[in-house]
Chain A
């Protein structure tokens, strides 16, 4: 058995929480502002991109994934990967079944 890599538990300082909190509020204001612009399909793209950034910030810092062990990181990545596979398979089915018939 190889030596396990040592993972030091890190206490996240409140400064980091405050910075993440401020960015989340900023991105909320930004997504609201962008929704008032006329961007066509890019309204949805921009809104979802901002939501993804916000979600990632919460996962990395509030949920401590940035500081957690490789096992936890790998498990969560595997979960998201499975999620993307399932969504992609569902969508390819719906997109290819009846082009423009709905």
Chain B
């Protein structure tokens, strides 16, 4: 549909047409309804971009202020886990895209299969994330709960070239870990909400709700899922990779 499809159509065009039953009465056509739903979803995603941007901006500024602390903090990240999680999320974005395609093709079995696979990959991501958080808990890297600067006033055995931080700079690693938990935690919350909605979608898809031509819900959920993937695509290099050599 085009940009003017959002506007209400003139009276004389609103005569009774044959409409599929999923088209709400205030829409002129299924296409218009789809375009409108899509547009609304994007507006929501833009507010989500602004929301995460606040965290990214805070990360950027504090990294410049407490640079040695951020480098030392990120040297305790588990690189393989972050990389694996990136791959898992990219796979889940692919399966989600294939789910949208299956809905478009009105293939109920394929839709259920792809959505279930996406849900499974979402759980794998959360599992790996939980493993990392547990490791950080064990190492006393959780600010406010059990934080200790011990690791940062001594040389990190994995990075023997690092100099130990002074006690006041070592305290600032709490800023790194606070932002780390805020960002990955907010991202994981979005993943949990996504998995919850996915379970609902799979039940609905089972009943054939999205393979009768009405696929706005699956399509818009796909947009949400891909957005959460993009957030992680930026979190991964910022938290795990960019400080490896400093």
A residues whose Cβ falls under 8 Å from a Cβ of B: 1, 4-7, 9, 11-12, 14, 17-18, 20-21, 24-25, 28, 31-32, 35-36, 38-40, 43-44, 47-48, 50-51, 54-55, 58-59, 61-63, 68-72, 74-76, 79-80, 82-83, 86-87, 90-91, 94, 102
Contact = CB atoms under 8 A, between A and B. Distances in A.
Contact of A25 (B5, B87, B222): B87
A9 B241 contact: no
A74 B46 CA distance: 12
B65 A102 contact: yes
Contacts of A6: 2
B104 A58 contact: no
B112 to A, nearest CB: 17
A7 B2 contact: yes
Classify chain B's interface size.
35 or more
Interface string B141-177: 0000000000000000000000000000000000000
Given A43-B242, A43-B244, A55 B1 contact: no
B interface, by DSSP: helix, strand, loop or mixed?
A: helix
Contacts of B229: 58, 62
B124 interface: no
Contacts of B97: 12, 17, 20-21, 61-62
A42 B97 CA distance: 33
Nearest to B43: A75
B83 A32 contact: yes
A36 B244 contact: yes
Contact of A69 (B3, B227, B234): B3
Contacts of B75: none
Given A35-B240, A36-B244, A43-B245, 8 more contacts: A17-B97, A24-B93, A25-B90, A32-B83, A43-B242, A75-B42, A79-B49, A87-B53
A99 B48 CA distance: 32
Contacts of B1: 7, 9, 69
Contact of A44 (B46, B49, B242): B242
Nearest to B63: A44
Contacts of B53: 83, 86-87
B170 to A, nearest CB: 17
